Each structure stands twice: as C-alpha cells, then as structure tokens.
Amino acid sequence: MKKDLPTVLVTGGAGFIGSAVCRHLVSTGAYRVVNLDKLTYAGNLSSLRDLDGHPNYAFYKADICDTDKVSEILAAEKVGRIMHLAAESHVDRSIDGPMAFVTTNVVGTASLLSAALAHWRSLGFAEQESFRFHHVSTDEVFGDLPFDSGVFTEESPYKPSSPYSASKAASDHFVRAWHETYGMPVVLSNCSNNYGPYHFPEKLIPLVIANALDERQLPVYGKGANVRDWLFVEDHARALEAVMTRGQVGESYNIGGRAERTNLEVVETICALLDARRPRSNGKSHLDLIAYVTDRPGHDRRYAIDPTKSERELGWRPQETFETGLGRTVDWYLENGWWWRPIREQRFDGTRQGLVGAR
C-alpha cells in the first residue's frame, strides 16, 4: 500500500454500500483505503475482488465493538479519516431480532467513536484539522411521511419507527455528542434507499430480480403502495466522498435521487425490464409472479429526501436516473449469478423476510 496518500478507514466495507465506497475511493487514486469489517452474513469479500492485491487497499476482519483492535488498526494504518458504514441494515431482521441492532449500531458506533477520539487526540495539529469522522446514516431516522405531502430536510425531527431506524437515530445522536462534547470533527449524511450491484438479495430490488429469474413469487408487502426514494449506489458513493471532503464539520447532509416510486411501480418496472431482456419460457410476463403478502408491522408509508443542501453546498448530483440505474442493476444480476447464487443457496435463517423470500 502506498504511504503518501491520505488513509480512509471504511467500516462495513464488505457490505453493499461499503464495497461501492471502497471501489470508488480506490478508483480515484487519491486515497489509501483500509476496510474494517466483521464479515457478518451481509459482508462478502467477493464484492471486492476487483481490489484484490491493489496497493492502495487493505482489509481487516474486525468488530467495531472491539475498541482495542480498532485502536490498533487506527494507529498502525495512520488513519486520517473514518467513513463509518458498518451496521445491521435490514428492517425485517430488526423486527425479528432487535438486540443485534442495538449492539452493532448503537454500542458499536459508540465504541468506534471512543477509539476514534483517542486516535484523533494523538494526532498532530495539521492531522487533527483534516481528520473527519463521517457517519453514514439513513433517511429512515425521520420516520413516516404522509403519501401526499412533505419531504425530509436536514431540519426534520427524528421520529424513527422500526428497531433499525431507532438504532440508527441513536447512533446519529452519539456522533453529534462526540462533536459537541469533545470537539471531534464529525460530518453526517442521511441517504434514501440505495440499489445497484452487489445488493444482498433480501432487500426488495435484488430479491425481486433473483426471485423472478428463479420463477419464484415476488412478495409485495400490503398493497405495494408504500413509497421509497431510490438512489443508485455508485451515486451515493460519490456523494459520500463529497461529504467527507467538502462537508462542513458538525453538519449533516441529506442525499437522495429525487426518485420516489411505490413498491409496486418498482416491481412492475423490474418485471418489464426482465420481460424484455430474459423472457420466460412459458411466454407469460414476470408480472404474473407478483404475490401480495402480509404487510410489515410499523411499515413507514413514504420516505422522500430533499437533497438541495448537498446539491448546493457539495456540488453533487446523481448521474443515474431511476430507469437507467435499474436497467444497469438488472443487467448486473443477469450477468453475475456467480455472486448472488451462492448467497441464495445458503438457507435463510428463519427471519420474516427469509420465510417470505423462500416461498
């Protein structure tokens, strides 16, 4: 690994967004990237095979709750910035088993903050000035919007609904507390739903693509009327670099693609893309596989991000529309069964999603 570039520690870099961030940061040639990941069920080093052996990339298998190990890595790698993505991230799993979310997202974030603070204090003046702790969070902390009005701004009150979003809200508060109390230079970002390559096939978009290709039912919760605001993962990775490098210390930035869709619209669009690219052998549309299933408890109706601040202050804009990004995503799943088929072949672990997805 080259020693003359600023070193960014990415936590959760073997996950969906984290792996896109690692690939993006290394591709710029402007950073050394150190990926720290526990490799839970959601972590997958095959998402990073493009970076194998790259001189500006290193991987450590570690738990963010293990403060001693994290402290060692921060010192040994002379980390100059932290981008914190490690988390339990699936709402349905949080409903079945909330404590893992408290442990990783709340206790883990506070443990990481403690190690980061000691490291930051050990740095020289110039390094302290350039250091950032960038916490990667979600729009779900703002809770439920009505179908017909409202958007989330950086000033929206926190009103989380699920154990997942409550744990992310708590972690956001801890990050702000480390800034207000100890002066550590933090930035936060709250992003809408991501989609794209290397997305674990328990989340809506990859689940529907994989189920459709396997001639399984496409489970739509309730009537499919819930609205999410979608962003292509590589656009999020570029936004995160902008927040880390150009964001004001102590500030948060909402990131989103201005692409609200009902879940049913999302599923129908995937079906249309697959009908065109991989027609079924029985000549019917993939739409026939749609199955309306029992709704998620506490299911937020709508999320919608106002990204004006990020656009204005960071000069960031998404490069993909929902249609172009979804087309690229479907193509990726068609071409990369080597990545997602082995995940599907492992048995689901009895979570609500697992039961629905396995049908």
Asked if 220 is part of the footprint of ligand TYD (rule: CB under 6 A), the reply reads yes
From the list 33-41, 151-159, 329-337, 338-346, the region that binds ligand NAD by CB under 6 A is 33-41
How far is Cα 188 from Cα 249, in angstroms, rounded to an integer?
A: 9
142 is an interface residue for ligand NAD by CB under 6 A:
no
Q: How far is CA 148 from the centre of its chain?
A: 26
* Order of strands, sheet of 81-84, starting from the edge strand that comes earlier in the sequence: 57-61, 32-37, 7-11, 81-84, 132-138, 186-191, 252-255
Which of 2, 11, 24 shows the shortest CA–CA distance to 73? Answer: 11
DSSP state letter for 105:
I
Does 224 participate in binding ligand NAD (rule CB under 6 A)?
A: no
> Residues 6 or more apart from 190 whose CB is under 8 A from it?
137, 138, 139, 141, 142, 152, 154, 172, 252, 253, 254, 255, 305
* Residue 226 found at the interface with ligand TYD (CB under 6 A): yes
Q: How many residues lie near ligand NAD (CB under 6 A)? A: 30
Binding region for ligand TYD (CB under 6 A) out of 143-151, 219-227, 250-258, 283-291: 219-227
From 31, 164, 198, 303, active-site residue? 164
Residue burial 25-41, b: 16+ Cβ < 10 Å; e: rest: bbeeeebbbbbbbbebe
228 binds, among ligand NAD, ligand TYD, none (CB under 5 to 8 A by kind): ligand TYD
Q: Report the partner that residue 118 touches, choosing among ligand NAD, ligand TYD, none (CB closer than 5 to 8 A by kind).
A: none
Instruction: Determine contact, residues 220/267, Cβ cutoff 8 Å.
Output: yes
Question: Which listed range, 15-23, 265-273, 309-317, 331-339, lies at the site for ligand NAD (CB under 6 A)?
Answer: 15-23
Stretch that binds ligand TYD, among 123-131, 216-224, 277-285, 306-314 (CB under 6 A): 216-224
Q: How many residues bind ligand TYD (CB under 6 A)?
A: 14
What is the per-residue DSSP string for 227-281? Answer: EEEEEEHHHHHHHHHHHHHHSPTT-EEEE--S-EEEHHHHHHHHHHHHHHHS--T
- Nearer residue to ligand NAD within complex by CB, 91 or 274: 91
* Nearest position to ligand NAD, beta carbon: 15
Binding ligand TYD (rule: CB under 6 A), the pick from 228, 238, 258, 286 is 228
Rounded CA-CA distance 343/203 in Å is: 13
Q: Which residue has the tokens 């890595």?
A: 73
- CB contact at 8 A, 90 and 66: no
Three-state DSSP class for residue 291: strand
Query: Which window, 126-134, 171-179, 215-223, 308-316, contacts ligand TYD (CB under 6 A)?
Result: 215-223
326 binds, among ligand TYD, ligand NAD, none (CB under 5 to 8 A by kind): none
| 305 contributes a contact to ligand TYD by CB under 6 A | no
Residue type at position 215: E
Q: Beta strand 7-11 with 81-84: parallel, antiparallel or unpaired?
A: parallel
Residue 204 interacting partner from ligand TYD, ligand NAD, none (CB closer than 5 to 8 Å by kind)? ligand TYD
Q: Give yes or no for residue 203 binding ligand TYD (CB under 6 A).
A: yes
Given the residues 140, 202, 229, 306, the one annotated as active site = 140
Under the binding rule (CB under 6 A), the answer on residue 204 touching ligand TYD is yes
* Among the listed residues 105, 193, 194, 252, the single contact to ligand TYD using CB under 6 A: 193
Catalytic residues: 139-140, 164
List interacting residues with ligand NAD (CB under 6 A). Answer: 11-12, 14-18, 37-40, 42-43, 63-65, 85-87, 89, 104, 108, 136-138, 168, 191, 193-194, 200
